[in-house]
Each structure stands twice: as C-alpha cells, then as structure tokens.
Amino acid sequence: MADQVWVSPNPDGGWRVHNAGSQRDSAHTDTKAQAVDRAREIAQNKWAELKIQNRDGKIGSSDSHWRDPFPPRG
C-alpha cells in the first residue's frame, strides 16, 4: 500500500495535513483549500495517495500521486 497524506478538520479550528498513522501534523491551515494545496505538494513529492476529509470526517475525495504501471493511453 502506498503512503497516504490526509487533510482533516482540526478540532481546535482550521485544517490539518498529516501522514496516515502519524501523531505529528505536517501543516496547519486556516482554510481547507490551503490544506489541500499543501497536502497535494507533499503527496506528489512522496508519490503518495491524497485523502481529503469533509468537516464531518467522511472522505470527500481522494487522489493518487504515484507512478502508474499501466497509465491511460490517449
């Protein structure tokens, strides 16, 4: 399984960017958009999967940033 980078609501307000299973956050932001931008940079650098939660904690979207052995052909 690939590494995962998460965007989650922070209980104290704002949004947090963190790796799956890590107790430490990579970033804290005021807006979800800022958190998604930062998390996408991290996921692309690590070739990781990006998981974005909604305010209710459910996964709103996800995106993969790893090398696909069978990329789509156009």
In a domain, 52, yes or no: yes
Give the tens place of pLDDT for each residue, 19-52: 998 889 999 999 999 999 999 999 999 889 999 9
Instruction: Quote the pLDDT of residue 7.
Output: 97
Give the model's pLDDT for residue 29: 97
In a domain, 22, yes or no: yes
For 53-65, how does the pLDDT look when each residue is reduced to its tens digit (9 = 90+)? 999 999 999 888 7
Query: Domain range for residue 16?
Result: 4-61
User: Number of folded domains in the chain?
Assistant: 1
> Which pLDDT band, with edges at 50, 70 and 90, does 71 fall under?
low
User: Sign of torsion, CA 29 40 58 26?
Assistant: negative
- Per the domain annotation, does 72 fall within a domain? no
Query: Is 66 among the domain residues?
Result: no
Q: Residues near 4 by Cβ (< 8 Å), separated by ≥ 6?
A: 19, 20, 48, 49, 50, 51
Mean pLDDT of 10-17: 95
Residue 71 domain flag: no
Q: Does 73 reside within a domain?
A: no
For residue 16, tell me if it sits in a domain. yes
